[in-house]
Amino acid sequence: MPENKEKIAIVGLGNAGLPLAAVAADSGLAVVGVDINAERCRLINRGLNPIPEEAGLGELIAQHGGKNLVATPRFEDAKDCSTFIVIVPLFVDQSFNPDFTIMESAVRSLGKILKKGDLVVLETTFPPGTTDGKVRAWLRESSGLKDGEFFLAYSPERIMTGYSISRLREFPKVIGGTDEESGFRAYQVYKKFIANLHLVSSAKVAEMIKVMEGCYRDVNIALANELFKICTDLGIDFFEARDKANHEFCHIHLPSTGVGGHCIPVYPWFLIKEMEKREQFSFCQLLSASRQVNDEMIEYWAEKILRACIKVDKPLAAVKICIRGITFRSGVKEFYHSRNLALAKLLTEKGLDAYVFDPLLTKDDVEKKGFRYLEPEQADLIFDPFHLTFECPEREAAGQVDRRQV
């Protein structure tokens, strides 16, 4: 790595951290990537991309891996950096409370190498107030530094898996400090590799921006799901109605089997749980209801599938059902909170003969996840959760099926 270049460290080289590190390295910064996954670090340093489905990342890793972007599992290797960006996961526990275990461990390890005057920027999506609260306290305790001796800011990662490089290059990115000087310094560093950057008044506002986006999506998907169910019950084609209802001030989303992934189903809970702690129970009624509507969509689709099975000319338990698509979103090999996996499981629990297929997975991949694999052509009924369509080869041959309304 060139000695005279400005060096920044990125802690966490996962789906979000690695594209960020690659884009920073491609802008001419010297990047030290710290990740406890030593195998992932080895791959990156050899110029090999551990996330092949991420468009454009392979070229950047091939060009900068082991050169402008050096990955290491040891925090000490980053001790001469003066900016540290942290992007490791934050999940929710069984009761939907944020689980800070991974974050606390990464921040405390970072604290041990933090020096006077260093800047730390968090990117993981947080309940508003976390950067200036918990993160500041962990850094103070682990570094021995006092408030004012290090700078602290927040800039939410707003990528979408599969499109991360283009999102980092084009999509507006916000950044806010826990004080004015922190915000200003963070803005100066990020400006070197993020073109569309916006300084906001505080880290807390920047935290809220990301959580708000997730809430907006969850509530609007819940609305679309509810309208879809109502339309279907009334014998109205939802898609035709939506097409003409949408205009500049109305954007009805698409219905689905629910909401999956690390982000949208998790972020509303950050606000719901905080309001519960503050005994402001009435403030999150819409957010709570939306979570419930979206999570219960698998019950709705299971019922529809059951009805479709009854029309197949076979005993119910012998109808081979294939769920064609089990990732949380189409085209992305991620399963966190996948409602399509949950749907397949629910069908099996109901005693139906359910199988799965996914163009991104092999038979072995499917079986390792505890599901039964079936080529769609061998099924009596295929449900495509990404298009919400049914196919029933036998009845289709007889011309009896409307794919959308079986």
Ligand X SMILES: NC(=O)c1ccc[n+]([C@@H]2O[C@H](COP(=O)([O-])OP(=O)(O)OC[C@H]3O[C@@H](n4cnc5c(N)ncnc54)[C@H](O)[C@@H]3O)[C@@H](O)[C@H]2O)c1
Active-site residue set? 210, 263
Q: Beta-carbon neighbour count of residue 229 at 10 Å?
A: 15
- Decide whether 263 or 352 has the Cβ nearer to ligand X: 263
List b or e across 281-291, with b for residues whose CB sees 16 or more CB atoms inside 10 angstroms. eeebeebbebb
Closest residue by beta carbon to ligand X: 14
- Least distance from ligand X to the Cβ atom of residue 394, Å: 40
- Enclosing H/E stretch for 51: none
- Decide whether 89 or 385 has the Cβ nearer to ligand X: 89
Torsions phi, psi for 358 (to 5 deg): -150, 130
- Least distance from ligand X to the Cβ atom of residue 383, Å: 26
Calpha distance 135→122 (Å, rounded): 9
- Least distance from ligand X to the Cβ atom of residue 5, Å: 22
Calpha distance 212→55 (Å, rounded): 27
- Least distance from ligand X to the Cβ atom of residue 89, Å: 4
Q: How far is CA 55 from CA 38, 65, 115, 160, 318, in A?
A: 24, 16, 36, 11, 42
Q: Under the rule (CB under 6 A), what is the footprint of ligand X?
A: 11-17, 34-37, 40, 87-90, 102, 105-106, 109, 124-125, 157, 159, 161, 262-263
**Residue where the block lists tokens 């109205």:** 236
Q: Residue 47: left (phi > 0), alpha (psi -120 to 50), or beta?
A: left
Which pair of structure tokens corresponds to residue 100?
Answer: 């800070």
- Decide whether 105 or 378 has the Cβ nearer to ligand X: 105
- Decide whether 106 or 174 has the Cβ nearer to ligand X: 106
- Least distance from ligand X to the Cβ atom of residue 309, Å: 35
- Decide whether 38 or 205 has the Cβ nearer to ligand X: 38
